[in-house]
């Protein structure tokens, strides 16, 4: 065991953030801390690292073990270049190398015993240098920097000139180079593109130490985590497995807890009714019995109502009218800034009902594409044509659609006057604004909070073509799931840029990857993209080979694409119908079992024969449906 946390407690004023939390981390374990925004995830990390005191409890590290911690926001400021800043981590290696060079120089000037002593010193120094992997030091730094998305041309940039996200990546690189026994990372994927996230996943999976991660990136957690530490209403619980396995366990646990709570509430209500009736009899014996029951009731340890999923916070996206089948046609589109070419001569089409995700490395031009479509940035050449009755709803990360002088409530109510107060509050609550938060001014919100308000407004719009730029940024997992459900039920068309692979997996019917100034088309979700990527993009691709490969991907005509999508939709519909039929028949079978158990039926042989006959027919039909369901699932 590398870390033990016992009875950790923390309160801020009247907010009891962490309640008597206990858990441990084993050597080499990969753990994730999850919870809604404000649950106390970062607070817990800060308590573990000593950056924040706990009100009670203890944090114990194993003897001779060290840790490294990466907070969400880094104040890395240095006149060093990016490469030299990472090199500072290897100062001991650099000092050893300098000592070796000096010893080599000294050996040229001496002989005899002095030379013998220097030779021994030289042997010791070189042995230590090899043990510290000194010869691979610079290549190791290069590998980490490239993995985190820096190009070799950027290695010479001064750290002081970098953006906040780039500085965080530098800090992450330094931490990985230190190779502590325990790595603690707070939202490490926020400033990484898809390739860098995939690289970090592989790095952490193969890491020889333990890892604790705070993250809302469910795909990342599925790949990395072997334990989930959940903070729910201050209560800290541990679950074995990755995020998807946790979600199943959590749902079962929530169901059990809710059933226990509801059963206890029914029993309490029943006892209270009995007590009231006994008191109404107003006789000495009945009053004593009532008092006895009251004492028993007082001794019951009341169960707290389990935290519920926000089932009442559902977003319904309903287009005002239906667009034509051809939603958007792009032909020969090109754009560059100065000497930096983003993309050239690209063409693609979007049809009604498609959910298209645009993915690619940072800086390739994904957001620029969306801005060009919305006429916020001019194209250099090409043509964009919208189809009949297409009405665009646009979400951008700069939030131009908000009014700084309005409150959150006014921002929604002024644009949607037909909504009731409850509907407005429910919409804002789905995006984490509750209570008095709804009366805050837009100008007082952080960038992330403004993003959530913009998204809430867009979700209420009646547009039939939604264009979204990183819609899941700043959302917790529950809010992401609300948005996923809304988009999947949306009958309009969606084009979005995202690096949230779990979100893409849940919502995309097609992926456009922007790479080497061209778009590669994949008809499917993110898992399908990973499966087919190597077939459409050669491993050893030069710029010219990519350009000859790209058109082959775009030769997929729309008829073929629609047929593929139609087959996928048919399979999903068939599965759903099959599951619904199974559920109906199973419910009927249960009802028959309950009927058979009734005393009056037990003596009715005619009815028993009817039930037995119906049960047999149900059994045969269910067996066939189970086989059909398995067949649909496998194909």
Question: Does the pLDDT of residue 331 top 90, yes or no?
Answer: yes
Q: At what angle do helices 137-147 and 164-178 cross, to 10 degrees?
A: 140
pLDDT of residue 347: 92
State the average pLDDT over residues 532-549.
Answer: 49
More confident: 108 or 305: 108
pLDDT of residue 112: 86
Cα–Cα distances (Å) from 150 to 144, 217, 362, 548, 601, in that order, read 9, 22, 10, 27, 76
Q: Could you tell me the two tokens for 114?
A: 């002095």
State the average pLDDT over residues 42-66.
Answer: 92
pLDDT of residue 399: 59
In 241-396 the beta strands, taken as DSSP E runs, fall at: 326-337, 340-351, 355-360, 381-386, 392-395
Q: Could you tell me the two tokens for 191?
A: 């400033």
pLDDT of residue 554: 43
Global pTM reads 0.68
pLDDT of residue 537: 54
State the average pLDDT over residues 381-396.
Answer: 90
Distance CA(70)–CA(170), nearest Å, equals: 11
More confident: 601 or 140: 140
Q: What string of DSSP letters covers 450-486?
A: HHHHHHHHHHHS--SEEEEESTTTT--HHHHHHHHHH
pLDDT of residue 553: 42
190 and 214 in contact (C-beta within 8 Å)? no
In the chain, where the domains are located: 249-299, 326-557, 566-634
CATH architecture of 326-557: 3-Layer(aba) Sandwich (3.40)
Q: How many CB atoms lie within 10 A of CB 202?
A: 13
State the average pLDDT over residues 6-23.
Answer: 92
Q: What string of DSSP letters covers 86-101?
A: HHGGGHHHHHHHHHHH
State the average pLDDT over residues 601-626.
Answer: 81
Percent of the chain with pLDDT over 90: 35
Question: Does the pLDDT of residue 150 top 60, yes or no?
Answer: yes
pLDDT of residue 315: 62
pLDDT of residue 545: 31
Q: Could you tell me the two tokens for 481?
A: 């799931």
Question: Does the pLDDT of residue 512 top 70, yes or no?
Answer: yes
State the average pLDDT over residues 74-82.
Answer: 80
Distance CA(84)–CA(76), nearest Å, equals: 13
Cα angle, residue 397 at apex, residues 395 and 398 outer, rounded to 5°: 105
pLDDT of residue 45: 92
Q: Give the pLDDT confidence of 16-28 residue by residue, as tens digits.
A: 999 999 999 999 9
Q: Give the pLDDT confidence of 242-273 residue by residue, as tens digits.
A: 999 998 898 888 888 888 989 999 989 888 88
pLDDT of residue 635: 62
- What is the chain's mean pLDDT, rounded? 85
Cα–Cα distances (Å) from 146 to 140, 162, 373, 397, 583, in that order, read 10, 16, 32, 27, 52
- The dihedrals phi and psi of 180, each to the nearest 5 degrees, come to -70, 165
The SS3 of residue 17 is strand
pLDDT of residue 400: 63
pLDDT of residue 555: 42
Q: What string of DSSP letters covers 105-134?
A: HHHTT--HHHHHHHHHHHHHHHHHHHHTTG
Cα–Cα distances (Å) from 134 to 344, 533, 557, in that order, read 44, 37, 55
- The dihedrals phi and psi of 65, each to the nearest 5 degrees, come to -105, 145
User: Residue 222's closest CA among 480, 496, 34?
Assistant: 34
550 and 520 in contact (C-beta within 8 Å)? yes
Q: Could you tell me the two tokens for 560?
A: 């073929």
Cα–Cα distances (Å) from 589 to 578, 584, 609, 626, 630, in that order, read 16, 9, 15, 15, 21
Q: Could you tell me the two tokens for 195?
A: 């390739």
Q: What string of DSSP letters covers 587-628?
A: HHHHHHHHHHTSHHHHT-HHHHHHHHHHHHHHHHHHHHHHHH
Distance CA(144)–CA(503), nearest Å, equals: 27
Q: Give the pLDDT confidence of 175-213 residue by residue, as tens digits.
A: 999 999 999 999 888 778 888 888 999 999 999 999 999
pLDDT of residue 634: 54
């Amino acid at each position: 065991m590398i870390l033990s946390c016992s009875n950790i407690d923390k309160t801020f004023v009247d907010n009891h953030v962490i309640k008597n939390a206990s858990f441990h981390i084993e050597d080499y374990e990969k753990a994730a801390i999850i919870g809604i925004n404000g649950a106390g995830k970062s607070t817990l990390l800060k308590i573990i690292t000593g950056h924040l005191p706990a009100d009670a409890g203890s944090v114990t590290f194993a003897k001779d073990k060290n840790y490294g911690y990466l907070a969400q926001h880094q104040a890395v400021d240095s006149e060093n270049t990016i490469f030299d800043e990472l090199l500072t981590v290897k100062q001991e290696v650099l000092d050893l190398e300098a000592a070796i060079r000096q010893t080599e120089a000294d050996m040229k000037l001496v002989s005899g015993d002095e030379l013998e002593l220097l030779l021994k010193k030289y042997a010791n120094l070189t042995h230590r240098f090899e043990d510290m992997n000194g010869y691979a030091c610079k290549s190791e730094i290069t590998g980490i920097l490239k993995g985190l998305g820096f190009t070799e041309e950027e290695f010479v940039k001064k750290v002081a000139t970098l953006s906040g996200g780039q500085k965080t990546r530098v800090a992450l690189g330094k931490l990985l180079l230190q190779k502590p026994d325990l790595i603690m990372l707070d939202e490490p994927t926020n400033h990484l593109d898809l390739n860098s996230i995939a690289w970090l996943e592989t790095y952490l999976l193969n890491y020889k130490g333990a890892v604790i991660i705070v993250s809302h990136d469910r795909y990342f957690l599925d790949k990395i985590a072997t334990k989930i530490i959940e903070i729910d209403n201050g209560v800290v619980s541990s679950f074995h497995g990755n995020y998807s396995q946790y979600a199943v366990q959590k749902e079962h646990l929530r169901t059990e807890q809710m059933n226990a709570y509801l059963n206890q509430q029914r029993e309490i209500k029943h006892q209270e009714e009995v007590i009231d009736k006994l008191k109404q009899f107003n006789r000495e014996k009945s009053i004593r019995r009532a008092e006895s029951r009251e004492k028993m009731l007082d001794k019951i340890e009341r169960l707290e109502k389990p935290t519920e999923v926000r089932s009442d916070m559902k977003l319904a996206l309903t287009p005002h009218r239906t667009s034509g089948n051809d939603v958007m046609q792009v032909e020969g589109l090109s754009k560059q800034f100065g000497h930096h070419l983003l993309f050239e001569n690209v063409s693609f089409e979007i049809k009604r009902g498609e959910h298209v995700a645009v993915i690619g490395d940072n800086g390739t031009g994904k957001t620029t594409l969306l801005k060009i479509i919305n006429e916020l940035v001019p194209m250099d050449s090409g043509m964009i044509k919208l189809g009949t009755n297409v009405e665009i709803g646009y979400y951008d990360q700069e939030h131009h659609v908000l009014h700084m002088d309005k409150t959150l409530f006014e921002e929604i109510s002024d644009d949607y006057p037909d909504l009731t107060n409850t509907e407005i509050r429910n919409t804002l609550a789905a995006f984490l604004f509750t209570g008095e938060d709804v009366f805050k001014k837009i100008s007082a919100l952080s960038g992330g909070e403004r993003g959530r308000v913009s998204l809430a407004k867009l979700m209420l719009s009646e547009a039939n073509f939604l264009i979204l730029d990183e819609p899941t940024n700043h959302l917790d997992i529950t809010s992401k799931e609300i948005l996923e459900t809304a988009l999947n039920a949306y009958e309009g068309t969606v084009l979005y840029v995202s690096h949230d692979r779990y979100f893409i997996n849940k919502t995309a019917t097609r992926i456009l990857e922007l790479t080497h100034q061209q778009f590669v088309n994949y008809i499917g979700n993110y898992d399908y993209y990973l499966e087919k990527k190597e077939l459409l993009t050669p491993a050893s691709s030069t710029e010219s080979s990519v350009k000859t490969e790209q058109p082959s991907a775009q030769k997929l005509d729309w008829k073929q694409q629609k047929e593929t999508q139609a087959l996928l939709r048919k399979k999903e519909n068939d599965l759903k119908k099959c599951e619904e039929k199974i559920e109906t028949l199973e419910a009927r079978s249960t009802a028959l079992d309950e009927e058979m158990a009734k005393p009056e039926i037990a003596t009715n042989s005619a009815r028993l024969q009817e039930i037995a006959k119906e049960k047999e027919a149900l059994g045969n039909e269910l067996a066939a449906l189970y086989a059909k369901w398995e067949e649909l699932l496998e194909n």
